[in-house]
Homo-oligomer: A and B are copies of this chain.
Amino acid sequence: MTFANATAIDAAEHPYTARIHDGWDVVGNANGGYLLAIGARAMARAANQPHPVTVSAHYLSPGRPGPVTIDPQIVKAGRRLTTVRATLLGQEKPLIELLGSFSDITRIEGPQRVDASPPDLPPPEECQQVIPDPKVGFPPAMMGRLNLRLHPDDANFLAGKPSGEPLIRGWLKLADDEPMDVFGLLLATDCFPPTIFNANLPVAWTPTVELTAHIRAIPRAGWLRCRFSTRFISGGMLEEDGEVWDESGRLVAQSRQLALTPVA
């Protein structure tokens, strides 16, 4: 099943309905970027705008496969931006709470200055593809829906040898070369292995409290180059900063999440 189908919305009635499909999970819980993509599709539909500009998600409960509902509420429909909030409900519980502003980003213009570059990566075929291992549950099932290839310097945690730096870089495509739209970029901001896997710290997982993604451009066809890094692990939390660049070398999305760091 394609990402487009796996995140499709039925907007015939309010609240909208959708479904958490099998195979987009990490040890049984739906990936946060996947849930965000479902929620944002519903919000964009309600806003009658094609693109999320900035959307924040607070993660409340793990999502399991099955039906969900989303109830987008227009907060303000402005000349350029439409602001929407929504709750994604599953199993009669709120799974994520969302707030975002939507627009047609191709119609917003301004000057250009970029003081950063895409991550320097060896060609995809020289990078380490992450393949799910159904027996162990790690790498997770979701990796079967993606073509994710890690920078060799950042991939040794897969063999139990973390680099020591909370940094993960790599190439990303959807499986079977499915085209990546702006909602796919939301998935991209949260589908890489957590940066903590490369830090030598007694933290086994980092449940996301909140993730904010900015969509800065529509990606060209092809590979995405992604970079996730963490500078601040303190007070029981960490931030993880993401940059997603397209094959033409343009920043297409930027993200930051705040996650808890429970001691393993």
Contact = CB atoms under 8 A, between A and B. Distances in A.
Contacts of A85: 85, 97, 99
A212 interface: yes
Contacts of A13: none
A236 interface: yes
Interface of A: 53-54, 56, 58, 60-61, 75-76, 78, 80-81, 83, 85, 87, 94, 97-101, 105, 108-116, 166, 199, 201-203, 209-210, 212, 214, 216-217, 230-237, 239, 250-251, 254, 256, 258, 260-263
25 contacts: A53-B209, A54-B210, A56-B210, A58-B83, A60-B78, A60-B83, A75-B97, A85-B97, A105-B236, A108-B236, A108-B237, A108-B260, A110-B234, A110-B236, A110-B237, A110-B262, A111-B203, A111-B261, A113-B199, A113-B233, A113-B234, A114-B233, A115-B166, A216-B232, A256-B256
